[in-house]
Structure 1
Amino acid sequence: MSSEPTTPAPPKTTSSENIVTQKYDRCLADFLVKSGVGFSVGVIASVILFKRRGWPIALSTGFGAGAAYADCDRSFNPARIPGTRIIPASSSPEPSK
């Protein structure tokens, strides 16, 4: 064993392009999952309740896609989350020393 002190690794910085890419990946995955669940619910409802009509499938798939779109919109624009307030940096109080 060496007696040399180990230095901690510097924190990794993430570029803004990587952050946007991760958000798009999450949005796409969320869209596929929610639309797939909506499609499945629509097929089951169509077969069991609505005598094999097509509109329950389209409606529930649209509900899933709309929910995914709303979640994606909130992740890219946090000001749209109800109850949040954006305070400009110039009007924030200076910390006292």
Structure 2
Amino acid sequence: MSSKEKSEDQLGRQWDKFISNSVLKMGTGVIIGSVFSLLVFRRRVWPLVFGSGIGLGFASNQLQTDLNQLNR
């Protein structure tokens, strides 16, 4: 048997990592956004949305980097 991992398994592992990263980073963005919303911006909603969007952007950037490393 070959000791190399199948490409489908590698891709699935990267997507699983993306999902966990996005949940973690979006949650962190929401927490930071809520702190800014409560303390600085007088309970506006946009810091929450902005923080979660930044977290999702960081997670998708990490996914793109991981997928590019798989192709090499």
Give the TM interval when normalised to the shorter protein: 0.7 to 0.9
Structure-1-length-normalised TM-score: 0.65
The 2-side partners of 1:60 and 1:22 are apart by 26
Structure (1/2) with the larger helix percentage: 2
Deviant stretches of 4+, over 2 Å: 10-13
Which amino acid in structure 1 is aligned with residue 45 of structure 2? G
How many residues are aligned here?
Answer: 70
Q: Structure with the greater relative contact order (CA < 8 A, sep ≥ 6): 1 or 2? A: 2
The 1-side partners of 2:45 and 2:32 are apart by 12
The answer for the alignment partner of 1:72 in structure 2 is 63
The answer for the alignment partner of 1:28 in structure 2 is 19
The 2-side partners of 1:74 and 1:44 are apart by 30
Q: What is the aligned counterpart of 2:32 among 38, 41, 49?
A: 41
CA RMSD in angstroms, aligned pairs only? 1.7
Instruction: Calculate percent identity across the aligned residue pairs.
Output: 26
CA apart distance, 1:13: 3.3
The answer for the alignment partner of 1:13 in structure 2 is 4
Which amino acid in structure 2 is aligned with residue 60 of structure 1? G
Structure-2-length-normalised TM-score: 0.86
Structure 2 runs not aligned, ≥5 long: none
Structure 1 runs not aligned, ≥5 long: 1-9, 79-85, 87-97
